[in-house]
Amino acid sequence: MLKYALIPLLPFAGFLIAGLFGKYLKERAAYAAVAGVAGSFILSVSAFIDVLGGTIIDENLYSWFAIGNLTVNVGFQIDQLTAVMLLVVTTLSTLIHIYSVGYMHGDKGYARFFAYLELFTFFMLVLVMANNFVLMFVGWEGVGLCSYLLIGFWYEKKSASDAGIKAFVVNRVGDFGFLLGMFLIFLTFGTLDFTDVFAALSGPAAAQSYMLLGAEIGVMTLISLLLFVGAMGKSAQLPLYVWLPDAMEGPTPVSALIHAATMVTAGVFMVARCAPIFSLSPTAMTTVAIVGGLTAVFAATIGLVQNDIKRVIAYSTISQLGYMFLGLGVGAFAAGIFHLTTHAFFKGLLFLASGSVIHALSGEQDMQKMGGLKRKIKVTHGVFLVGSLALAGIFPFAGFFSKDEILWSAHNAGEVGRVLWMLGVFGAFLTAFYSFRLIYLTFYGKSRIDHEVEHHVHESPKVMTIPLVILAFFAITIGWIGMPGAIIPHANLFGDFLAPVFPVLEHGVANHGLERWLMVFSVMVALAGIRLAYSLYVKNTSMPDRLARSFKGTYNLLLNKYKVDEVYNFIFVDGLVHRLARFLYNITDVKIIDGAVNGIAGMIRRTSEGSRKVQTGFVQEYAFVMGLGLVVLMGLYYVLK
Amino acid sequence: MLHKAIFIYFAAVCIGSALLMITRRNPVHSVLFMLLLFFHIAGLFVLLNAEFLAAVQLIVYAGAILILYLFVVMLLNVDRESAAPRANRYWPWLTLFGLLISAEISFLVLRGSFPADAGQQPMTLAVGSVRDLGIELYTKYLVPFEIASVILLVGLVGAVMLAKKIKD
Amino acid sequence: MVPLYWYVLLSAALFTIGVVGVLSRRNVFIVLMSIELMLNAANINMVAFSHYLQNLTGQIFVIFIITVAAAEAAVALAIIILLARNRGSVHVDEFNLMKG
């Protein structure tokens, strides 16, 4: 058990070292940090091998607190799902830590950065290893906190600290749902341990229903929907996705680790972990699938016209998260987790590679001021291309296998599924288009780089490129572990590995012929997207401007991200929050709280002015009072006895 | 009967010298009455079969502590203003207060449930002996004994630190 | 034989005299000696009970009380020397720096 407990504790130790002694260690703090995650990675591999050998851990370390009939333990559960997540989190975390050694070099918050990153890794591991909802929530909030700290890492920049606050507040809305879901689970089942809750699902408690707004809603549906609200916040789904693009204000390794590979997938993980609950409610499943599908296309359309290199990838992340939820929603839980895994690698790669581009251009993020970089930064270009091919879902890169499995499951999931499949294929087209628009604008064509910057263009140091190459290798190969039956029968190692965790909800029968045709079709669609990007941004470079002019309304709507931020601002921030805040300030704060505080202070002052006269300073008078106490006590004894 | 007579003698001298001790103007006189008091308390200890404590009472209290007082009183020698009142202005009330305390204690003691013949038998020689006391002190009460030595050390160091002249 | 309560009454009388001394005298030496008197009153009680209960614990406690009294006397006299040196007085009612 100690081995498993050390998986989260090693990064925590690294956090303590880097955080407490960062001032003295300076850049050496990175060694402690990398050592912490690397140790955690090695232990995770060992844990994975244990699980592969059939050892499922579900053990309580100690009792955290017990109130009434609620007992919350600190305990770890390591099953197939957790093992996969452990590998994903620790691999990415280790590589990104190494990359950051080079990327953050010379930053004045160097040690602080690694301390936060370590703390994040700790909380993420707690989240995936928890064996009950409360501990999972601890990790859930912890990663949210670290996300806030790291988005606002350059806190002297106003936009960065604003983005941190926005992420925190939007996540709070989701967490509210998660909390309510947890309460309802406890109310229904009287426990919060995963095993106990899932065991009780077949009992009578799960069949209850509530009357809400005149409609009868089953308790399982209600719990699922509330939990899904939490997942929407953390995993940036419609309508709570607005924080993720702004989160790109943080350093690029943070975007890669937290806002692409791990934290934002926590929602997906949570839904997958609660698969037994969700699978009892068709309504909730459909909701998850529809929200996922809509988000996938919606975010992709915004990504089409963005000019900030990191924002394009951010919208792509939202869109890919949508695919994951689409997969979960149609009952293909393993496919969703599979996409989570492949996405973690290729999207982490894309972010780190874009960080390398930004590094090469001395901090420039606007793609309109790039171009022609292919010759100058060859390694970055190569890995970027691999990442984009994986993202676009071209055979045999990783994204192809996972996205295709999701689309195939959607296609099999009835009429709604068929519509979602169409959305997904359309999204795949958009994905291919924007990812290659990114490639062409950045690496091809004529250089639009500022002159001062152009002299300094240089390839990143080895400590950054080696993690990139490793990630690129995974971005190609990681998909092969989930080989669909249509290509090589009975070779879906990933699906088989996860099969014990998830309920079986397969629709229809395997139809390898049709599946093969659909695969070819989706690859064709993706290739068409790439071709379109090629003709618009390499061949005929004046075309995009003309298009933008002739479809001015649409273009501006997309460029301004559907003005969702403005609408939210108008309704929630200005309308609700400010008015409420003014009320709270004028009435509650000034009148009630300040009044009470000042009143109590005044009362205490008057009392003490009176009572200080008692303090004469003469020791004998104090002694007399003691003697008086003796007399009174003895008198009391006499009276009472 | 003889025991009672001896006790009454010791008790009377104790109370008398205690009263004189707290009423003398000159502290040197007070110290001397205190000395008398300690001798008679030692006598009471002998009456109670506590010969070792009687010796300690004389050696430590009378011999060491009181002589220290005497030294300091004579060293400072500040109490020469004979006109100043020796007690503060509340002393009659405080005397009444003291009477109240002793009345209360007496009341509780007399009402108390000591058996009239409690411990009337003479103490065996073994119980009062120095040997038994030593065995008890160095086995069962070894740790408190060591702590007491630390307290003495602290008192020693504290007294030296306080009384030495600070050079600056 | 002497009844136990005689000793207790004697000890109560001595204790009370000590209390009155502590509370009423101005000279700090006599205040301190009154405290010693109160400790001695307690000692008499201890030894008396030790004798009547045939138990040595009471006598052991007297040894500890004497130890503490010795330490206390040493420190207290050092403080008095300081007071006399700095304030030129040994009268307790002249020290009221802690007045509120």
Contacts of C6 in chain B (CB under 8 A): 7, 11
- The per-residue pLDDT for B119 is 53
Report the neighbours of B using a cutoff of 3 or more CB pairs below 8 angstroms: A, C
Q: Is C94 on the interface with B (CB under 8 A)?
A: no
Per the CB < 8 A criterion, the answer to whether A225 and A287 are in contact is: yes
Nearest to A616 among C22, C24, C96 (CB): C96
- Domains in chain C, number: 1
Q: Is C70 on the interface with B (CB under 8 A)?
A: yes
Q: How far is A615 from chain B (nearest CA, A)?
A: 17
In this prediction the pTM is 0.66
Residue owning tokens 């010693």: C36
Report the neighbours of A using a cutoff of 3 or more CB pairs below 8 angstroms: B, C
- The per-residue pLDDT for C40 is 94
Residue to mutate among B91, B99, B101, with most A CBs inside 10 A, is: B101
For residues A71-92, give the mean pLDDT.
89
Per the CB < 8 A criterion, the answer to whether A306 and A280 are in contact is: no
Is B108 or A313 the better-scoring residue by pLDDT?
A313
| Cα–Cα distance for residue pair A245/A315, rounded to 1 Å | 7
Which is nearest to A529 in space by CA: A437, A429, A388? A429
- The per-residue pLDDT for A324 is 92
Bridge partners, residue A58, by sequence: A77
Whether pLDDT at B85 is above 70: yes
The total of other beta-carbon atoms located within 10 Å of residue A171's CB is 25
* pLDDT tens track for B6-64: 999 999 999 999 999 999 888 888 999 999 999 999 999 988 888 889 999 999 988 89
Per the CB < 8 Å rule, is C100 touching A614? Answer: yes
Q: Is B103 on the interface with A (CB under 8 A)?
A: no
Q: Is A590 exposed, middle or buried (0-12, 13-18, 19+ CB in 10 A)?
A: exposed
Q: Is B110 on the interface with A (CB under 8 A)?
A: no
Q: Is C82 on the interface with B (CB under 8 A)?
A: yes
- The per-residue pLDDT for B13 is 94
- The per-residue pLDDT for B118 is 56
Q: Is C65 on the interface with B (CB under 8 A)?
A: no
Please name the residues in contact with A40: beta carbons below 8 A apart, sequence gap of 6 or more: A6, A7, A8, A10, A11, A90, A93, A94, A121, A125
- The per-residue pLDDT for B14 is 94
Per the CB < 8 Å rule, is B101 touching A620? Answer: no
- The per-residue pLDDT for A548 is 76
Chain A, chain C: beta-carbon pairs less than 8 Å apart: 32
* pLDDT tens track for A507-563: 555 677 788 888 888 888 888 888 888 888 877 777 777 777 777 777 777 777 777
| Cα–Cα distance for residue pair A241/A231, rounded to 1 Å | 11
Per the CB < 8 Å rule, is A617 touching C93? Answer: no
Q: Is B101 on the interface with A (CB under 8 A)?
A: yes
pLDDT band with cut points at 50, 70 and 90 for residue A136: very high
Is A565 or A78 the better-scoring residue by pLDDT?
A78
Q: Is B87 on the interface with A (CB under 8 A)?
A: no
Residue of C nearest to A623 (CA): C23
Q: Is C9 on the interface with B (CB under 8 A)?
A: yes
Q: How far is A638 from chain B (nearest CA, A)?
A: 7
Per the CB < 8 Å rule, is B48 touching C54? Answer: no
Whether pLDDT at C31 is above 60: yes
| Cα–Cα distance for residue pair C41/B22, rounded to 1 Å | 15
| Cα–Cα distance for residue pair B76/A404, rounded to 1 Å | 102
Across A32-41, A134-143, B129-138, least confident range = B129-138
Please name the residues in contact with A393: beta carbons below 8 A apart, sequence gap of 6 or more: A399, A400, A403, A404, A428, A431, A432, A522, A523, A526
Nearest to C47 among B4, B45, B60 (CB): B45
Nearest to A631 among B94, B104, B111 (CB): B104
Q: How far is A612 from chain C (nearest CA, A)?
A: 5
Residue of A nearest to C18 (CA): A627
- The per-residue pLDDT for B41 is 94
Nearest to A617 among C22, C24, C99 (CB): C99
Residue of C nearest to A609 (CA): C100
- The per-residue pLDDT for A509 is 57
Best-predicted range by mean pLDDT (A176-185, A402-411, B107-116): A176-185
- The per-residue pLDDT for A41 is 92
* pLDDT tens track for A477-490: 888 888 777 777 77
Nearest to A630 among B94, B101, B111 (CB): B101
Contacts of A615 in chain C (CB under 8 A): 98-100
Whether pLDDT at A328 is above 70: yes
- The per-residue pLDDT for B128 is 58
Report which DSSP code applies to A210. Answer: E
DSSP, collapsed to helix, strand or coil, labels residue B90 as coil
Q: Is B108 on the interface with A (CB under 8 A)?
A: yes
Report the neighbours of C using a cutoff of 3 or more CB pairs below 8 angstroms: A, B
Q: Is B99 on the interface with C (CB under 8 A)?
A: yes
Whether pLDDT at B73 is above 70: yes
- The per-residue pLDDT for C20 is 92
Whether pLDDT at B116 is above 70: no
* pLDDT tens track for A140-151: 999 999 999 999
Whether pLDDT at B120 is above 70: no
pLDDT band with cut points at 50, 70 and 90 for residue A59: confident
Residue of B nearest to A618 (CA): B88
Residue C59 maps to a domain? yes
For residues B63-90, give the mean pLDDT.
79
User: Alpha helices, DSSP H only, in A26-157?
Assistant: 29-52, 80-103, 110-129, 133-151
Whether pLDDT at A505 is above 70: no
| Cα–Cα distance for residue pair A431/A319, rounded to 1 Å | 8
Per the CB < 8 Å rule, is A617 touching C19? Answer: no
Residue C99 maps to a domain? no
Per the CB < 8 Å rule, is C81 touching B69? Answer: no
For residues B151-156, give the mean pLDDT.
92
**Mean pLDDT of all residues in chain B?**
84
A215: enclosing H helix or E strand: strand A215-218
Nearest to C23 among A615, A617, A627 (CB): A627
Contacts of C90 in chain B (CB under 8 A): 76, 78-79
Residue C97 maps to a domain? no
Per the CB < 8 Å rule, is B22 touching C21? Answer: yes
Per the CB < 8 Å rule, is A619 touching C95? Answer: yes
- The per-residue pLDDT for A126 is 92
Q: Please report the ipTM that was assigned to this predicted complex.
A: 0.90
Residue C15 maps to a domain? yes
Nearest to C100 among A615, A623, A624 (CB): A615
| Cα–Cα distance for residue pair A26/C84, rounded to 1 Å | 57
Per the CB < 8 Å rule, is B108 touching A624? Answer: no
Nearest to C92 among A615, A620, A627 (CB): A620
Is C96 or B99 the better-scoring residue by pLDDT?
B99
Whether pLDDT at C100 is above 70: no
Considering chain B, what percentage of its residues have pLDDT values greater than 70?
85
| Cα–Cα distance for residue pair A201/A191, rounded to 1 Å | 12
- The per-residue pLDDT for B165 is 73
Nearest to C93 among A612, A618, A627 (CB): A618
Residue C13 domain boundaries: 4-91
Residue to mutate among A619, A634, A641, with most B CBs inside 10 A, is: A634
| Cα–Cα distance for residue pair B101/A630, rounded to 1 Å | 8
CATH number, domain containing residue C20: 1.10.287.3510
Per the CB < 8 Å rule, is B108 touching A630? Answer: no
Residue to mutate among B91, B104, B113, with most A CBs inside 10 A, is: B104
Which is nearest to A565 in space by CA: A245, A320, A301? A245
Considering chain C, what percentage of its residues have pLDDT values greater than 90?
47
Per the CB < 8 Å rule, is B37 touching C37? Answer: yes
Bin A445: left if φ > 0, else alpha if -120 < ψ < 50, else beta.
Answer: left
Per the CB < 8 Å rule, is A634 touching B104? Answer: yes
Considering chain A, what percentage of its residues have pLDDT values greater than 70?
99
- The per-residue pLDDT for A238 is 82
Chain A, chain B: beta-carbon pairs less than 8 Å apart: 21
Per the CB < 8 Å rule, is B100 touching A638? Answer: no
Q: Is C81 on the interface with B (CB under 8 A)?
A: yes
| Cα–Cα distance for residue pair A120/A149, rounded to 1 Å | 10
Per the CB < 8 Å rule, is A624 touching B97? Answer: yes
Rounded (10°) angle between helices B66-76 and C28-53: 180
